[in-house]
Structure 1
Amino acid sequence: MATCDRDELREVSAAVLAVTAHLSVREVLQTIVSAARRLLDARYAALGIPDGRGSFREFLADGLTDAQWRAIGPIPRQHGLLGAMLSDPAPVRSADIRTHPRFEGWPAAHPEMIDFLGMPIVDGDEILGELFLANKRSGRFEAEDEELLKLLAAHAAIAIVNARLYERSRELSIVEERQRIARELHDAVTQKLFSLRLTAEAAAALVERDPARAAAELDTVRRLAADATAELKSIVVGLRPVDLAGDGLAAALARQAELLDRVHAAKVTFASDTVPRLPAPREEAAYRVAQEALHNALRHGAPSRVSIELRRAGPGVVLTVTDDGSGFETAAKAAGQRLGLASMRERARSAGARLHVASRPGEGTTVTLEVPGG
């Protein structure tokens, strides 16, 4: 193999590897433009990605000095041959670009270009951009030059598509994070704020006739406010619920039952076997489902009793929250649209658990969650 062939292969390899290296998409595309100019022995090379508004989001060139760039002026619009290449996937090869029917000239400071090779950058049926060369130093652009430029344009397409996918995944991550925060706020903080409001109202009613009891209620208000603040911090940084940070799910549910029993009129009880510790995501899902079930019962069901049970089921657990409140029709369309039920179902699904909600008007509600082990 001749030395020039080996050098060419190294240049192609460097351009291809740049697509997968830890470089920005602009750096990758600039590498491809520079490699194309060197490999095909052209004086000038450029790559443009349209912005959807008649101009270019990216326009990279190689072979021009900074002074030439400044003299040429702003990024070109999608007119003439540049516009044509964004609507036709066929390559353009001309011995004198000035004779092309779509040629419309260039700015006064633009270098004179004669022979030209242009390649649309395509992904399937979509034209993502264009890569072109001008003024071959030795001879004219030939068919083999066109094939090599087509290869480099294909790798430019990979870089552009990868950049798009990354941006879409980033947008999706932002949406998912917003949904997570909405669920956490609804499941955890809303319940504590509701309890805090009831306790504050009770303290206000007792201030004059029973100051000692009012003071005790205000202590509970302070504790609820501190818990809500801790939950908010936990949600913002994506940590586990603070109640799970210590002794696990059973202890967290016991504390939750004790708190709710103290601040609500309904009798709230908790019973548990000696249950195994579960992976953190499954313990959190079970805890959040329990919180939502308790919140729904105490806020909407007007129950006299609410019970929480946590039982061993092989390597996993079964969580049951039962109330004797007003109940609801589970088949009703409105029930399926309630944020609380949707949140519980999503949490169960994400943890690989099975959720069952049984309720009828006037007969209370039972929420059962079967959580597998590790």
Structure 2
Amino acid sequence: MTTEPAIPGDVPGGEQLDAVLQAVSSAVLAVTRHLSVREVLQVIVRSARALLGARYAALGVPDDDGAFAEFVAEGVSDKQWEAIGPLPRQHGMLAAMLKDASPVRLPDIREDSRFEWWPSAHPVLKDFIGVPIRDGDLVLGIIFLADKRTPGGFTSQDEDLLTLFAAHAAIALTNARLYERSRELTVVEERTRMARELHDAVTQKLFSLRLTAQAASSLVRADPERAAAEIGRVQRLAGEALTELRAAIVELRPAELGRHGLAETLRKHVAVLDRLHPVAITFASRALGDLPPEAEMTVLRVAQEALHNALRHADASSIEVCLEVEGRRVQLDVRDDGRGFPDGAPASRGLGLVSMRDRAESVGGTLTVTSEPGEGTFVRLEVPT
């Protein structure tokens, strides 16, 4: 649980400096306790909002195209976000700060020449402050705050305080990115090790299996008794190879599942695909709680396969991924607006769909695939928890 820092403006007189230092210290410690980049972004926003006593706070992370790769906010509910619409790209004050990346403090953002408009569902903001999070000359993100709870709007002291906090937050955010990068390298090294083990163990077993089968085939007529013995050995070797393959598959369980759980792992996977493909891919999830490892693995693999199919075959403009728990079952939905299946029988087509159904059945789950020509495809996986 994160402890929010005290609001300096609530502390009178000579105690104010101590309150400021304590607030910054509490906020920075809250940030550095988290290793996931997404978690760090969320805690930075939450801490900055509490630090300056603002009603609204947001943090945008720039991409390579002059827009936002990620955008997190506090003070706006999920329902409000849905009504507001897509992630901010290049617009108004946010676009101006992306280009300039200098601190901005305004008594009323609506009266500034850089202000353009908000979506109809967007909350009406008045006093505004924005400060970049820098690592040297590199802008890691921009913190935006609006509507200070105490009268008078944001002060120059607030700007100094937020700038100080941003400098410390930059360290935490940089550390989180380095940690995630090192974890990715660790995963690559682990997969390389597993490939070597598969080659050494399973490949040799399959080679022996092939030789034994050839021997049994040559003995069927000349020596049926020996042929039967060789066939028995084939069965034993096949069983051993299957056992080793299953063990290898278990070990290949993504490390992210163990560290961050299914929802965060799948969110990151979707975010990567969204950046790599022109298709708009979105992800939504509710709290899942603890899930059995087998269920997590199945849901992740089916989601990856469904996304792969949609990106490769659907010719879609958007793909939606939703993950939630309904009763005692975890439910995964993957929906695209692509071309659909022309023959109306999607469940029978392709090894990918067969593989997804086999995965679902292996953990007592069900897979439903529906599609109509020109109406896209809908994949639903339900797995008992």
**TM-score normalised by length of structure 2:** 0.51
Mapping 1:317-332, distance limit 5 Å:
none
Q: Distance in 2 between matches of 1:114 and 1:173?
A: 47
Kept after mapping to 1: 8 A contact 2:34/2:40: no
Kept after mapping to 1: 8 A contact 2:37/2:177: no
Q: Distance in 2 between matches of 1:5 and 1:162?
A: 28
- Residue from 146, 149, 153 that aligns with 1:134: 146
Query: Match of 1:123?
Result: 135
Kept after mapping to 2: 8 A contact 1:196/1:221: yes
| Structure 1 alignment gaps of length 5 or more | 240-374
Matched to 2:89, the amino acid is R
Mapping 1:35-74, distance limit 5 Å:
35-50=47-62, 54-55=67-68, 57-62=70-75, 74=86
Query: Match of 1:318?
Result: none
Q: Distance in 1 between matches of 2:245 and 2:81?
A: 52
Matched to 1:106, the amino acid is W
Query: Match of 2:188?
Result: 175
The CA deviation string for residues 234-289 of structure 1, in whole angstroms up to 9 with x for no partner, is 433459xxxxxxxxxxxxxxxxxxxxxxxxxxxxxxxxxxxxxxxxxxxxxxxxxx
- Residue from 208, 232, 242 that aligns with 2:221: 208
Q: Distance in 2 between matches of 1:205 and 1:69?
A: 70
Shift of 1:86: 1.9
Q: Distance in 1 between matches of 2:212 and 2:71?
A: 60
Shift of 1:200: 1.4
- 1:61–1:217: structure 2 CA closer, same or farther, 3 Å change rule? closer
Kept after mapping to 1: 8 A contact 2:41/2:72: no
Q: Distance in 1 between matches of 2:210 and 2:40?
A: 57
Q: Which structure: larger Rg?
A: 1
Query: Match of 2:267?
Result: none
Query: Match of 2:89?
Result: 77
Shift of 1:184: 1.8
Kept after mapping to 1: 8 A contact 2:57/2:146: yes
Mapping 1:287-306, distance limit 5 Å:
none
SS at match of 1:164: helix
- 1:196–1:52: structure 2 CA closer, same or farther, 3 Å change rule? same
- 1:74–1:232: structure 2 CA closer, same or farther, 3 Å change rule? closer
- Pairing 1:9–2:9 present: no
Q: Distance in 2 between matches of 1:159 and 1:166?
A: 10
SS at match of 1:209: coil
- 1:196–1:89: structure 2 CA closer, same or farther, 3 Å change rule? same
- Residue from 224, 227, 233 that aligns with 1:220: 233
Kept after mapping to 2: 8 A contact 1:92/1:117: yes
- Residue from 132, 137, 148 that aligns with 2:161: 148
Kept after mapping to 2: 8 A contact 1:93/1:116: yes
Shift of 1:131: 0.6
Aligned residues: 238
- 1:191–1:130: structure 2 CA closer, same or farther, 3 Å change rule? same
SS at match of 1:85: helix
SS at match of 1:86: helix
- 1:183–1:141: structure 2 CA closer, same or farther, 3 Å change rule? same
Shift of 1:206: 1.3
**TM-score normalised by length of structure 1:** 0.53
| Structure 2 alignment gaps of length 5 or more | 1-12, 253-385
SS at match of 1:9: helix
Query: Match of 1:253?
Result: none
Kept after mapping to 2: 8 A contact 1:203/1:217: yes
Mapping 1:209-288, distance limit 5 Å:
209-238=222-251
Query: Match of 1:21?
Result: 33
Query: Match of 1:195?
Result: 208
SS at match of 1:87: helix
Q: Distance in 2 between matches of 1:66 and 1:212?
A: 71
Shift of 1:115: 3.9
Q: Distance in 2 between matches of 1:222 and 1:109?
A: 66
Shift of 1:43: 4.5
- Pairing 1:91–2:103 present: yes
Q: CA RMSD in A?
A: 3.5
Q: Distance in 1 between matches of 2:202 and 2:121?
A: 64
- 1:206–1:74: structure 2 CA closer, same or farther, 3 Å change rule? closer
Shift of 1:166: 4.2
Matched to 1:212, the amino acid is E
Shift of 1:10: 3.0
The CA deviation string for residues 131-188 of structure 1, in whole angstroms up to 9 with x for no partner, is 1223443445444322211122234334443443344344334433332332222222
Shift of 1:193: 1.5
Q: What is the aligned-residue identity percentage? A: 62
- 1:191–1:144: structure 2 CA closer, same or farther, 3 Å change rule? same
Matched to 1:188, the amino acid is A
Q: Distance in 2 between matches of 1:213 and 1:73?
A: 72
